[in-house]
Chains A and B, each alone.
Chain A
Amino acid sequence: MVPVMPAAAQAGVHDPLLERALRDFDGAAARLSDAIIPQAARRRAAEQLTGLGWPSSRDEHWRYANLRALERIATFAPAPAAADTADVASALELPARLPGFQRLLFIDGVRSGAQVDAAVADRGAWALSAEAAGWAPEQRLGLLGEMFAQDAVVLQITGAAAVEVLFVTSARSSAAVYPRVQLQLAPGSSLTLIERHLGEPAAAPVLVCANVTAELGRGAQLQHYRLQQYGPHVVFNDSLRARLQQQANYRVRQIVIGADSTRTSAEVRLAGRGAALSWQAIAIGRAGQVHDTALKVEHAAPATHVEEVFRGIAEERSRLAFSGHVLIQPGAAGAEARQSLRGLIEGASAEIDLRPRLQIHTDEVSAQHGATTGRLDENLLFYLLSRGIDRRDARALLKWAFLGDVLRAIELPSLREQAERGAAGVLQDVLAVGALP
């Protein structure tokens, strides 16, 4: 290996967190797999992060993210790959398997048990293009994943496949975890991917930093379910990038309810004519949780479509934010963009910030957006009370109804039920109401 100057020793690093990240990188670099990400690429990522600097809440893109949570994590370094997870795996209560899905399990960042079958081709990592590996400033914490990841789920799909990937954190580890998913869908192929993040309450604040990249070839279909149900003390950073060729269709259903804080930085480029994205997300915040999503969609070709639906409920003193930036480029005539962002504030000191943003550089587009935040409608509440329904149940019922649009968009009945149970588990008293089907 070519000797290199330790990243932490490079000039111009003033931010203590960046300094720590670079120091941890220097300490761990030697044991990180070259097969997953070549050392040179890891160093490039470290340099790029150094160049961009650590994100600051003064930056508009990071204004609502809970950056302070990162100050509390024990380390940026992942656990040694040799850790034995068999005992943890047997002790965990994992969600029931869904029929027809192959399952991949990672515990504290370490692959556990069977691999997916050859037809799906989890072929081992390929090097991401410099563009794909070089995350944009608003996704810059994704660079941590490029520095530290030590395993990856790499799916190259040519036919039709259904895969579930579970990233589980156990209570015993305080090392950082770097889930990594690389998807390549050949023209005409289809994949249903369930990406779950879940775990026991961590003993100390733990960083989980997920990087997901997806390339959808012409006419490819990706149905992507993302369920984040980590326990307390997890600081979750999530960077996603997708590129869609002609007539490709990408549907994301995301449910965020766990972890102390979540930041999703997503960027989707509709590069081919007729490409379409549907992004429907729920976030529920309790106690002091912070869930922030920044989604940028670029229409770079004609007749491209995007639909964004966000429903957030902020209880107690939690904070939720969703920023939906839609950029319609000059060549994207006939583009369609619809945004429906709604927030429900339940807690006395809870906060929700919704920011729809349409940036249109061509004529002949159809764009509409709506963003509303408020408390439960007193008229609806009174109507239910006037029918004899308990106040607590009536409130729970209305909250449930508020999430209905997105929950109904989960097309797999058994997954939908699991997602509903997950959401109901954190929405106080919903299960007691028996509102589940």
Chain B
Amino acid sequence: MSAPGTAAGTARTAGGAPHADALLQVLDLHVKAGEQPVLRGVSLAVGIGEVHAIMGPNGSGKSTLAHVLAGRPGYEIVSGSVRFEGCDLLALAPEARARAGLFLGFQYPVEIPGVNNAYLLKAAVNAARRERGLQELDAFEFLALVRRQMGLMHIDESFLGRGVNEGFSGGEKKRNEILQMLVLEPKLALLDETDSGLDIDALKVVADGVNSLRAPGRAIVLITHYQRLLDYVVPDIVHVLARGRIALSGDRTLALELERRGYDWVADAATA
């Protein structure tokens, strides 16, 4: 059985030493939810322009990692550090992380009746633009931007006047997450199981959206349970999270191996 970090003939080590040019650098992160340790020493370096996939069995801490990075309250950071563009990410409030260029695509996007999509999108875009020292978009510029991305995501314009995710199907909610991501143009997109619950057509639309964001100046972290999304969004690096730490990293062939062999062997290897 392969030892962690050497599976499937890949060159990467799990997590890794500090990376001078990493966009995101997570070092030995330990996190508790209540009394329960959830992350037990996660280290991860995501370079500019890279697409990473974080896979792992249920309960391995994938979503916790995404939410901790986005600043969700309710977790205790026990130790470790996270740097984003060299800054201490954990010291920032969630809204400041977003404005600094971090985007979390939710696995279960919430419904907010009474706040319409157009308002949320415009407020979010302009908050990010203010942060970057850019002029805020007026209504026309904003509409032009949103319409372009809505076309790509196969979203009808009537959606702008509806409440955020109100009455949306599961697929519509996920497409709305990707639309928000495209409009906000984050430096780092963390997509938490964006593929879950999607049929194959919706999956392709979502994948097209994600691929359109791929650019030398950005990075994307896909959190997923299955490798099916990775057929459409091909990652540069695949990590396996097991029992609260990155047990294994490799290239995209690692995802195929996981598909074939399941997760048990990785977990076994991680505790070996």
Give chain A nearest CB distance to B214 CB in angstroms.
Answer: 21
Is there contact, CB below 8 Å, between B115 and A387? no
The answer to the question of B133 belonging to the interface, with a C-beta cut-off of 8 Å to chain A, is: no
The answer to the question of A379 belonging to the interface, with a C-beta cut-off of 8 Å to chain B, is: yes
What 8 A-B pairs are tightest by C-beta distance, nearest first?
Answer: A401-B114, A404-B114, A388-B98, A387-B124, A388-B127, A385-B94, A388-B99, A385-B95
- Pick from B93, B98, B131: contact of A387, CB below 8 A: B98
| Number of chain A residues whose Cβ lies closer than 8 Å to a Cβ of chain B | 26
Over the window 40-84 of chain B, the binary record of Cβ atoms lying under 8 Å from chain A Cβ atoms (1 yes, 0 no) is: 000000000000000000000000000000111110000000000
Is there contact, CB below 8 Å, between B114 and A382? no
Q: For chain A residues 383-397, which have a beta carbon within 8 Å of chain B? A: 383-391, 393-394, 397
Given contacts A380-B110, A389-B127, A401-B112, 19 further A-B contacts (CB under 8 A): A377-B110, A378-B73, A384-B112, A384-B120, A385-B94, A386-B71, A386-B98, A386-B104, A387-B124, A387-B180, A388-B95, A388-B127, A388-B131, A389-B120, A390-B127, A393-B123, A401-B114, A401-B163, A435-B115
Chain B residues contacting A385 (CB-CB under 8 Å) are 71, 93-95, 98
Chain A residues contacting B207 (CB-CB under 8 Å) are none
A-B contact pairs, 11 of them (CB 8 A): A377-B110, A386-B94, A386-B95, A387-B180, A388-B98, A388-B99, A388-B124, A398-B115, A400-B114, A401-B113, A404-B113
The answer to the question of B128 belonging to the interface, with a C-beta cut-off of 8 Å to chain A, is: yes
Say yes or no: A397-B124 contact (C-beta < 8 A), given A379-B110, A388-B99: no
- Pick from B73, B104, B106, B123: contact of A389, CB below 8 A: B123
Give chain B nearest CB distance to A436 CB in angstroms.
Answer: 10
B residues neighboring A (CB under 8 Å): 70-74, 93-95, 97-99, 103-104, 106, 109-110, 112-115, 119-120, 123-124, 127-128, 131, 163-164, 180, 184
Chain B residues contacting A386 (CB-CB under 8 Å) are 70-72, 94-95, 97-98, 103-104, 106
A-B CB contacts (within 8 Å), total count: 78
> Considering the chains assembled together, what is the distance between the CA atoms of A397 and B109 in angstroms?
17
Say yes or no: A388-B114 contact (C-beta < 8 A), given A383-B106, A383-B109, A393-B123: no
Chain A residues contacting B72 (CB-CB under 8 Å) are 382, 386
Q: For chain A residues 308-364, which have a beta carbon within 8 Å of chain B? A: none
Give chain B nearest CB distance to A347 CB in angstroms.
Answer: 20
- Pick from B74, B112, B128: contact of A383, CB below 8 A: B112
Chain A residues contacting B99 (CB-CB under 8 Å) are 388
Chain A residues contacting B106 (CB-CB under 8 Å) are 383, 386
Give chain A nearest CB distance to B174 CB in angstroms.
Answer: 14
Say yes or no: A398-B95 contact (C-beta < 8 A), given A384-B120, A387-B180: no
> Considering the chains assembled together, what is the distance between the CA atoms of A401 and B166 in angstroms?
12
Give chain B nearest CB distance to A34 CB in angstroms.
Answer: 51
Chain B residues contacting A404 (CB-CB under 8 Å) are 113-114
> Considering the chains assembled together, what is the distance between the CA atoms of A274 and B119 in angstroms?
41
Is there contact, CB below 8 Å, between A397 and B180? no
The answer to the question of A54 belonging to the interface, with a C-beta cut-off of 8 Å to chain B, is: no
> Considering the chains assembled together, what is the distance between the CA atoms of A382 and B112 in angstroms?
12
Give chain A nearest CB distance to B72 CB in angstroms.
Answer: 6
Name B72's closest neighbour in chain A (CB-CB): A382
Name B126's closest neighbour in chain A (CB-CB): A388
Is there contact, CB below 8 Å, between B93 and A389? no
The answer to the question of A402 belonging to the interface, with a C-beta cut-off of 8 Å to chain B, is: yes
> Considering the chains assembled together, what is the distance between the CA atoms of A242 and B93 in angstroms?
52
Give chain A nearest CB distance to B176 CB in angstroms.
Answer: 12
Over the window 399-416 of chain A, the binary record of Cβ atoms lying under 8 Å from chain B Cβ atoms (1 yes, 0 no) is: 011111100000000000
Give chain A nearest CB distance to B194 CB in angstroms.
Answer: 14
Chain B residues contacting A400 (CB-CB under 8 Å) are 114-115
Chain B residues contacting A402 (CB-CB under 8 Å) are 114
Give chain A nearest CB distance to B220 CB in angstroms.
Answer: 16
The interface centre, meaning the residue of B99, B114, B128, B184 with most chain A CB atoms within 10 A of its CB, is B114
Chain B residues contacting A389 (CB-CB under 8 Å) are 95, 120, 123-124, 127
Chain A residues contacting B184 (CB-CB under 8 Å) are 387-388
Chain A residues contacting B123 (CB-CB under 8 Å) are 387, 389, 393, 397, 433
The interface centre, meaning the residue of A388, A389, A400 with most chain B CB atoms within 10 A of its CB, is A388
Give chain B nearest CB distance to A351 CB in angstroms.
Answer: 24
Is there contact, CB below 8 Å, between B73 and A382? yes
> Considering the chains assembled together, what is the distance between the CA atoms of A234 and B158 in angstroms?
45
Give chain B nearest CB distance to A432 CB in angstroms.
Answer: 12
Name B98's closest neighbour in chain A (CB-CB): A388
> Considering the chains assembled together, what is the distance between the CA atoms of A388 and B123 in angstroms?
8
Name B190's closest neighbour in chain A (CB-CB): A386
Name B95's closest neighbour in chain A (CB-CB): A385
Chain A residues contacting B70 (CB-CB under 8 Å) are 386
Say yes or no: A391-B124 contact (C-beta < 8 A), given A382-B72, A401-B115: no
Give chain B nearest CB distance to A173 CB in angstroms.
Answer: 39
> Considering the chains assembled together, what is the distance between the CA atoms of A361 and B70 in angstroms?
54
Chain A residues contacting B180 (CB-CB under 8 Å) are 387
